[in-house]
Amino acid sequence: MNCTSRLFGLAFATAVFIGTPATLLYLVVTLARRHNIAALVPTSVMLLIWVFISVSVYPGFVAELVPWRRRCK
């Protein structure tokens, strides 16, 4: 795998693992402003689950995509 595909893979993983919680957080704030508790609780739970999944999976993606011991040529 060359450096360009590693870079694109890392950019995609970062967008997914940071963009999704940001979108869910925006949704939580919007629902809180509308006082929609019925939709706020499941969205908050989904946000927590996604953050826990991201914390455990994202470092593996970074370790696989960034060659710390070998350099790209």
* pLDDT tens track for 3-52: 788 889 889 999 999 999 999 999 999 999 999 999 999 999 999 999 99
Q: Is the dihedral of CA 43, 49, 52, 53 positive or negative?
A: negative
Identify the band that residue 68 occupies on the pLDDT scale cut at 50, 70 and 90.
low
What range defines the domain where residue 15 resides? Answer: 3-64
Give domain status of residue 9, yes or no: yes
Give the Cα separation of 73 and 56 in Å (integer). Answer: 30
Taking the chain, what is the end-to-end CA distance rounded to the nearest angstrom? 11
Answer yes or no: is pLDDT of 69 > 70.
no
Average pLDDT over residues 49-73: 83
- Does residue 69 fall inside a structural domain? no
- pLDDT at residue 71 in the model: 66
- What is the model's pLDDT at position 2? 78
CA separation for the pair 1, 3 (Å, rounded): 7
| Residue at 70 is within a domain | no
In a domain, 17, yes or no: yes
C-alpha to C-alpha distance for 73 and 67, rounded to whole angstroms: 11
Instruction: Please check whether residue 73 lies inside any domain of the structure.
Output: no
